Amino acid sequence: MTTTEATRLDHGWRIWLAENLAMGAPVEEVRAAALAQSIDPADLDAELEQLTGHPYFAVSRRMALRYDWLESIMDVYRLLRNGDGGRELDRRTAIDPAEFFARYYFGHRPVVLDGLLDDWPAREWTLDEMARRCGDAQVEVMTGREANPEHAWQYDRHRTTMPFGDYLRLVGAGSRTNDFYMVPRNSNWPGALRPLVGDVRAPAGIIDAVDGTEHGTCCSARPGP
d(CA 194, CA 164): 12
Task: Note whether 37 and 93 are same-domain residues.
Answer: no
Residue 139's DSSP bridge partners are 162
Task: Note whether 65 and 111 are same-domain residues.
Answer: no
Q: pLDDT band for position 178 (50/70/90)?
A: confident
d(CA 26, CA 134): 69
Flag whether 177 is in a domain. yes
Flag whether 66 is in a domain. yes
Question: Is the model's pLDDT at 212 over the cut of 50?
Answer: no
Flag whether 39 is in a domain. yes
Task: Note whether 42 and 65 are same-domain residues.
Answer: yes
Flag whether 20 is in a domain. yes
Task: Note whether 23 and 77 are same-domain residues.
Answer: yes
Flag whether 216 is in a domain. no
Is the backbone of residue 191 left (phi > 0), alpha (psi -120 to 50) or beta?
Answer: alpha
Residue 113's DSSP bridge partners are 92
> What pLDDT sits at residue 2?
46
> What pLDDT sits at residue 50?
94
Q: Which of 29-33, 77-81, 172-176, 210-214 has the highest mean pLDDT?
A: 29-33
Task: Note whether 94 and 51 are same-domain residues.
Answer: no
Q: pLDDT band for position 177 (50/70/90)?
A: confident
**What's the average model confidence in pLDDT over 94-102?**
93
d(CA 164, CA 74): 46
Flag whether 206 is in a domain. no
Question: Is the model's pLDDT at 4 over the cut of 90?
Answer: no
> What pLDDT sits at residue 176?
84
Residues in the chain: 225
Specify the amino acid at residue 209: A
Average pLDDT, whole number, for the chain?
87
**What's the average model confidence in pLDDT over 106-117?**
89
Is the backbone of residue 121 left (phi > 0), alpha (psi -120 to 50) or beta?
Answer: alpha
Task: Note whether 20 and 97 are same-domain residues.
Answer: no
Task: List pLDDT tens digits, range 68-95.
Answer: 999 999 998 888 777 776 678 899 999 9
Flag whether 191 is in a domain. yes
Question: Is the model's pLDDT at 67 over the cut of 50?
Answer: yes
Containing structural domain, residue 160:
121-199
Residue 162's DSSP bridge partners are 139
Task: Note whether 129 and 101 are same-domain residues.
Answer: no
Domain tally for the chain? 3
Flag whether 146 is in a domain. yes
> What pLDDT sits at residue 55?
94
Task: Note whether 99 and 143 are same-domain residues.
Answer: no
Task: List pLDDT tens digits, range 16-48.
Answer: 999 999 999 999 999 999 999 999 999 999 999
Question: Is the model's pLDDT at 146 over the cut of 60?
Answer: yes
DSSP the chain: ----PPP-S-HHHHHHHHHHHHTT--HHHHHHHHHTTT--HHHHHHHHHHHHT-HHHHHHHHHHHHHHHHHHHHHHHHHHHHTTTTT--EEEES--HHHIIIIIITTT--EEEETTTTT-GGGG--HHHHHHHHTTSEEEEE---TT-TTTTT-GGGGEEEEEHHHHHHHHHT----SSSB--GGG--TTTTTGGGGGG-BPPTTTS--TTSSSBSTTS------
> What pLDDT sits at residue 79?
83
**What's the average model confidence in pLDDT over 50-61?**
94
Question: Is the model's pLDDT at 133 over the cut of 80?
Answer: yes
- Whether this prediction's pTM lies above 0.75 is answered by no
Pick the closest to residue 16 from 71, 39, 105, 183 (CA basis).
39
> What pLDDT sits at residue 210?
61
Task: Note whether 51 and 73 are same-domain residues.
Answer: yes
